[in-house]
Amino acid sequence: MAELDAEMSNNLISWQRNGSMRTVYEFYKLDSEMRQEVLKYIKEFQLYEQLTVNGTQYLLVHGALAITCRIKK
């Protein structure tokens, strides 16, 4: 297994502290074909999405951002 850099290692530890076992358990309950579909989805997944609705800009993320930022127009 390749070495994890510090950021990846910290992210993994954080995930483990925040319910990873339930995710892993549910993933392994899926049949092989569905697990492959999930992995394909994850590989194509984007970390965030920027969009504008009625002139207002939004930054969509799965969780919370660790920083406060303003999107420049």
**Residue 39 sits in which domain range?**
6-61
> For residue range 13-27, what is the model confidence (pLDDT) as tens digits?
888 888 888 888 999
Q: Is the pTM of this model over 0.85?
A: no
What is the per-residue pLDDT for 66?
62
The count of domains in the chain is 1
Per the domain annotation, does 45 fall within a domain?
A: yes
Mean pLDDT of 41-49: 87
Alpha carbon distance 1, 5 (integer Å):
12
Enumerate residues 6+ apart whose C-beta is below 8 A from 27: 35, 38
Enumerate residues 6+ apart whose C-beta is below 8 A from 38: 27, 30
16: which 2 tokens? 């483990």
Alpha carbon distance 71, 73 (integer Å):
6
Per the domain annotation, does 43 fall within a domain?
A: yes
Mean pLDDT of 44-60: 89
Per the domain annotation, does 34 fall within a domain?
A: yes
